[in-house]
Amino acid sequence: MLGLFSRRRLMVALASAVAASAAWAQPVVQVQDAWARATVPGQGATGAFMTLMAPQGATLVGVSSPTATAELHEMAMDGNVMRMRPLASLALPPGQAVTLKPGGLHVMLLDLKAPLAAGTTLPLTLQLRDAKGATTALDVQVTVRALNGGAMGQGMGHGPAHGR
């Protein structure tokens, strides 16, 4: 009887440890619908967009890609003029979705090494700092979508000197 009791306690302890490790292994940030606009030959820049959710809160402190120079940007009205500016970081409040979208927050991909074709993917790495100050890198595969309407990088102030 003592052996059966000890085995039961061991099984409960193991199940608790597995559940705790699964909760601990949850990503700092969840990424949904990551996409970028396709480009045409000669176009040197485009935007990448996605929705980010940090259950415990986090800060996006950097972005990078082997495909291009990646920067976090924000577009906002300044009086009657839409202005774009690079951001050093982006707060991700606990449990709130933060959407990076055309005309707002986005990842700017500058100095593209090659055109981005619709239907392909490009790697993007998000550098994150969690609520406790620990930093981590999250690799994201971004789907390239066909151009629909005006492309970022054409007539939107995304030339070679943009944001610099």
162 is a domain residue: no
CATH of the domain at 36: 2.60.40.1890
5 domain residue, yes or no: no
In a domain, 152, yes or no: no
Q: Supply φ then ψ for residue 46, to 5 degrees.
A: -160, 180
Q: The tokens of 75 are what?
A: 């577009």
Share of the chain above pLDDT 70, in %: 74
Question: What residue ranges in 8-155 does DSSP mark as E strands?
Answer: 30-37, 46-53, 58-64, 69-78, 81-86, 90-92, 97-100, 106-110, 121-130, 135-145
20-76 pLDDT, tens digit per residue, is 444 445 568 999 999 999 999 999 999 999 999 999 999 999 999 999 999 999 998
Residue 150 resides in a domain: no
CA angle 15, 19, 23 (to 5 degrees): 170
Q: Rounded distance, CA 144 to CA 4, Å?
A: 57
Cα atoms in the 13 Å half-sphere on the side-chain side of 136: 15
Domain for residue 159, yes or no?
Answer: no
pLDDT at 22: 40
pLDDT band at 151 (very low <50, low <70, confident <90, very high): very low
* Residue at 92 is within a domain: yes
Range of the domain at 99: 27-145
Number of domain units in the chain = 1
**31 in a domain, yes or no?**
yes
Predicted structure pTM score = 0.75
- Mean pLDDT of the residues in the chain: 83
